[in-house]
Structure 1
Amino acid sequence: MGEFVIKMPDVGEGVAEAELVEWHVKPGDPVREDMVLAAVMTDKATVEIPSPVNGTVLWLGAEIGDTVAVKAPLLRIAVDGEGESESVAESVKEEERQPLPSPHRGEGARRADEGVSLPSPNEPSAPKEPSPSSDPSGHLLPAGEKGKASTAETRPLASPAVRLRAQEAGVDLRQVSGTGPAGRITHDDLDQFVARGAQPVAVAAGLARKTGTQEIKVTGLRRRIAEKMRLASARIPHITYVEEVDVTDLEDLRATMNAGRKPDQPKLTILPFLMRALVKTLGEQPGVNATFDDDAGIITRHSAVHIGIATQTPAGLTVPVVRHAEARSIWDSAAELTRLADAARNGTAAREELSGSTITITSLGALGGIVTTPIINHPEVAIVGVNKIVTRPVWDGSQFIPRKMMNLSSSFDHRIVDGWDAAVFVQRIKALLETPALIFIEG
């Protein structure tokens, strides 16, 4: 019987480490060749790691959320024969999903960088010390077990009799200071708490108080989203400009075009019209179609208009990119928008479809609210937010008439875009949307 060591694969493109986001096995599990063992996430894709051998899992080298260096031991498998150490770089299955910011270095990467010794492939692994996220045998706990342990640790110390009295009185023992050994709550502590006039918690018939807590480790895409939002908020001084737009004529035009569309043409939403208006406006204000490398102090203005579309998926927020929107018609823009949104939601979007945007549109659809303050997709310098359309009475000079109104909430990097330029930019989009024929006029 020997051991086979599987190392973190080289996922290419200069990536030196990846975050472990899923284990599909645990110590003691049998595995077969080509069975998926784990999934790791780089800044651009999720990569599944298959087993190149048949055997039994002996040891896991990282926990979910750890960032592991390329070529660091990831897991050990007991196999028939002498065994060997093997990297699975050529066997990884890449599942390209969401665009992600740069990874955070975790414990797995630190172990490799600091040269911490690991058991030899031919030596038994040392027993693993129990931790809040492992059981006494050293095995990783299932998701949620860590939160259960934490809940037990915060349970107040008290005898069953004190607990019964507190329950009958409607007193939450977490609010009572204990004077007994190790902070144990005594009958006197409970009496003094009630005597001080503390109001017990009334419990209605058929209902019960809840005191548990749950700790959820932020990993994978959610951690990437959190890091990206922190980066954008910390490094970009935002200015948000809100303007209302009368889209009554645009909505009439959209309804007419949808009624006459061909079977192979997608249904038009307001976004393709906004995309075309954005393209025309950026042609007049190229400084907004830019990215800013604030470390190098370099602004890059882009001739191509690659529009990121913020899209909610079951896994979290992603931004698929409609590339070269300047060369697309209304119908082509709508078709590409639909295709990319579907790919993002079912996890089949390719890497290049999830990166490289030069400006972003964000919309919450019917939940769009009245005003939003969108966060810029770093390193871009602008984002255009779409709020919901509502019918409101508008004064036309002689009477109030019903009009379909929509707010645009747009944010700009105030280091690059001045307030005046931001206002001119939004006013130009407003003019195009309120007179939609202008969108189709070239020049």
Structure 2
Amino acid sequence: MGTHVIKMPDIGEGIAEVELSQWHVKVGDLVVEDQVLADVMTDKAMVDIPSPVHGKVIALGGQPGEVMAVGSVLISIEVEGAGNLKESAAPAAVKEAPVAPKVEVAVESKPAAAAAPRPAAVCQGPMVAREASERPLASPAVRKHALDLGIQLRLVRGTGPAGRVLHEDLETYLAQGQSNASAPAAAAYAQRNDEEQIQVIGMRRKIAQRMQDATQRAAHFSYVEEIDVTAIEELRAHLNEKHGASRGKLTLLPFLVRALVVALRDFPQMNARYDDEAQVITRLGAVHVGVATQSDVGLMVPVVRHAEARSLWDSAAEISRLANAARNGKASRDELSGSTITLTSLGALGGIVSTPVLNLPEVAIVGVNKIVERPMVVKGQVVIRKMMNLSSSFDHRVVDGMDAALFIQAIRGLLEQPATLFVE
């Protein structure tokens, strides 16, 4: 028998160290060639490390969360025969799942076909009691689904990363709730004194670092404007009725993208990146709109490139394609980088106001709140109108308050008079 020692590979791009995010094997496991051994995270991507040999794991070189130098010992595998006694680097040509720069990201790990399936988290009961003040991890879509089903989310056991509640957890909760209808309701109100510690590593560490970096480096300020979206909602409904079957349904997002494009013609300082180390502002003619997209494992920001050259339906199709790719972990690195301004929306859960964090090195982010019907005074008459707030943040090192207000008011004017979106 021999030992094959695998070193941390050189991922490229001048990276000297990476974070060990997750092991997919343990000491004593039998592994086969191309089986995924571990996930490591660079500043730009999550990378799968496959095994170059068949054998038995005899030693692991680090713990999840540990930052390891390129070339350090990653794992030792016992192999048949003499083995490769000299240390070798793990294959560098590994599959990587892209990480959106500066913002939260999600990734996909691809298990090898020959490897044993990874154990899935199993729900251990129909409910899990949390403190009333505890907010369980879940995406806005899952929260909306739970609300529609009449489920208290704090009672649902989450099987996603860090205990995140997934859509399938809601279905499991419902199914088990029906089969355990006779269980005492008092279980939901039982006192609890247990604690759980969750290590901040991998994706969550990158999210924390980037959000902290953004708030420390940029001089954030926010501006909120109220917009009457009655007319544009009527236009959207009309276009969907007339062209939805042949061209696809339009959401409000393509109209917002179009409004950004038109408004930026008069406010080019918003479509910019600021290199605070070089003290250089780069204004861009191309409008690459980052559209914040929630997934079950975090916020991703796929980029609609050259939005200035897209029609409503072209933008809608691209937003839908990128959102699906991001949620499924299929978005490429190019699709998750290079934005010049970001649009963020929580849809129906958007609340009244928010203070979005800048997607550095960008200098502006436009946040969309939910649409609500309210009585408004129009030409001396009280009428019901559809109203929506835009909650936007800017980098005060680059953008003056007056310019930010005028920019958002320009978007307001375009949305309230939707014909102006298409007048050249």
Do the aligned partners of residues 62 and 382 (structure 1) sit closer, same or farther apart at CA in structure 2, a change above 3 Å counting?
same
CA contact (8 A) 1:24 1:38 kept: yes
Following superposition, which runs of at least 4 residues in structure 1 exceed 6 angstroms of deviation?
A: none
| Structure 1 letter corresponding to 2:394 | F
1:59 equivalent in structure 2: 59
Per the TM alignment, residue 264 of structure 1 is displaced from its structure 2 partner at its CA by 5.1
2:40 is paired with a residue whose SS is strand
1:30 aligns with 2:50: no
| Structure 2 letter corresponding to 1:26 | K
Per the TM alignment, residue 32 of structure 1 is displaced from its structure 2 partner at its CA by 0.9
1:356 aligns with 2:338: yes
Q: 1:338-357 residue pairs with structure 2 within 5 A?
A: 338-357=320-339
Do the aligned partners of residues 210 and 398 (structure 1) sit closer, same or farther apart at CA in structure 2, a change above 3 Å counting?
same
Task: Give unmatched runs, 5+ long, in structure 1.
Answer: 103-142, 144-203
2:70 equivalent in structure 1: 70
1:388 aligns with 2:370: yes
CA contact (8 A) 2:414 2:421 kept: yes
CA distance in 2: counterparts of 1:252 and 1:205, whole angstroms: 49
CA distance in 1: counterparts of 2:300 and 2:20, whole angstroms: 19
CA contact (8 A) 1:310 1:362 kept: yes
1:379 is paired with a residue whose SS is coil
Please give the root-mean-square deviation of Cα atoms over the aligned residues, in Å: 2.0
Per the TM alignment, residue 101 of structure 1 is displaced from its structure 2 partner at its CA by 4.6
1:86 equivalent in structure 2: 88
CA distance in 1: counterparts of 2:269 and 2:302, whole angstroms: 22
| Structure 2 letter corresponding to 1:240 | S
CA distance in 2: counterparts of 1:264 and 1:255, whole angstroms: 15
CA contact (8 A) 2:102 2:359 kept: no
CA contact (8 A) 1:2 1:83 kept: yes
1:408 equivalent in structure 2: 390
Q: Deviations over 1:169-207 (max 9, x none)?
A: xxxxxxxxxxxxxxxxxxxxxxxxxxxxxxxxxxx9876
CA distance in 2: counterparts of 1:54 and 1:428, whole angstroms: 63
| Structure 2 letter corresponding to 1:12 | G
CA distance in 1: counterparts of 2:196 and 2:57, whole angstroms: 29
1:50 equivalent in structure 2: 50
Worse overlay, 66-75 or 360-369: 66-75
Do the aligned partners of residues 342 and 81 (structure 1) sit closer, same or farther apart at CA in structure 2, a change above 3 Å counting?
same
CA contact (8 A) 1:42 1:100 kept: no
Q: Deviations over 1:51-100 (max 9, x none)?
A: 1111100111111111222222100001122222211234x431323314
1:275 equivalent in structure 2: 257
CA distance in 1: counterparts of 2:314 and 2:72, whole angstroms: 46
1:228 is aligned, of 210, 214, 237, to: 210
CA distance in 2: counterparts of 1:263 and 1:38, whole angstroms: 46
Do the aligned partners of residues 344 and 439 (structure 1) sit closer, same or farther apart at CA in structure 2, a change above 3 Å counting?
same
Task: Give unmatched runs, 5+ long, in structure 2.
Answer: 104-120, 122-184
Q: 1:264-303 residue pairs with structure 2 within 5 A?
A: 265-303=247-285
Q: Deviations over 1:111-153 (max 9, x none)?
A: xxxxxxxxxxxxxxxxxxxxxxxxxxxxxxxx9xxxxxxxxxx
2:355 equivalent in structure 1: 373
CA distance in 2: counterparts of 1:311 and 1:278, whole angstroms: 18
Bigger relative contact order, structure 1 or 2 (CA pairs below 8 A, ≥6 apart): 2
1:258 aligns with 2:240: yes
1:160 equivalent in structure 2: none
CA distance in 1: counterparts of 2:11 and 2:191, whole angstroms: 49
Q: Deviations over 1:307-365 (max 9, x none)?
A: 11111111111111111111111110000000001000000000000011111011010
Per the TM alignment, residue 229 of structure 1 is displaced from its structure 2 partner at its CA by 0.8
2:17 equivalent in structure 1: 17
Do the aligned partners of residues 27 and 300 (structure 1) sit closer, same or farther apart at CA in structure 2, a change above 3 Å counting?
same
1:95 equivalent in structure 2: 96
2:356 is paired with a residue whose SS is coil
User: What is the TM-score of this pair, normalised by structure 2?
Assistant: 0.78
CA distance in 2: counterparts of 1:64 and 1:214, whole angstroms: 17
CA distance in 2: counterparts of 1:437 and 1:332, whole angstroms: 18
The structure with more radius of gyration: 1
Aligned sequence identity (%): 59
| Structure 1 letter corresponding to 2:80 | D
CA distance in 2: counterparts of 1:316 and 1:285, whole angstroms: 31
CA distance in 2: counterparts of 1:63 and 1:288, whole angstroms: 43
Q: 1:30-179 residue pairs with structure 2 within 5 A?
A: 30-84=30-84, 85-90=87-92, 92-101=93-102
Per the TM alignment, residue 42 of structure 1 is displaced from its structure 2 partner at its CA by 1.7
1:421 aligns with 2:403: yes
Aligned residues: 343
Q: Deviations over 1:4-25 (max 9, x none)?
A: 0111122222222222112110
User: What is the TM-score of this pair, normalised by structure 1?
Assistant: 0.74
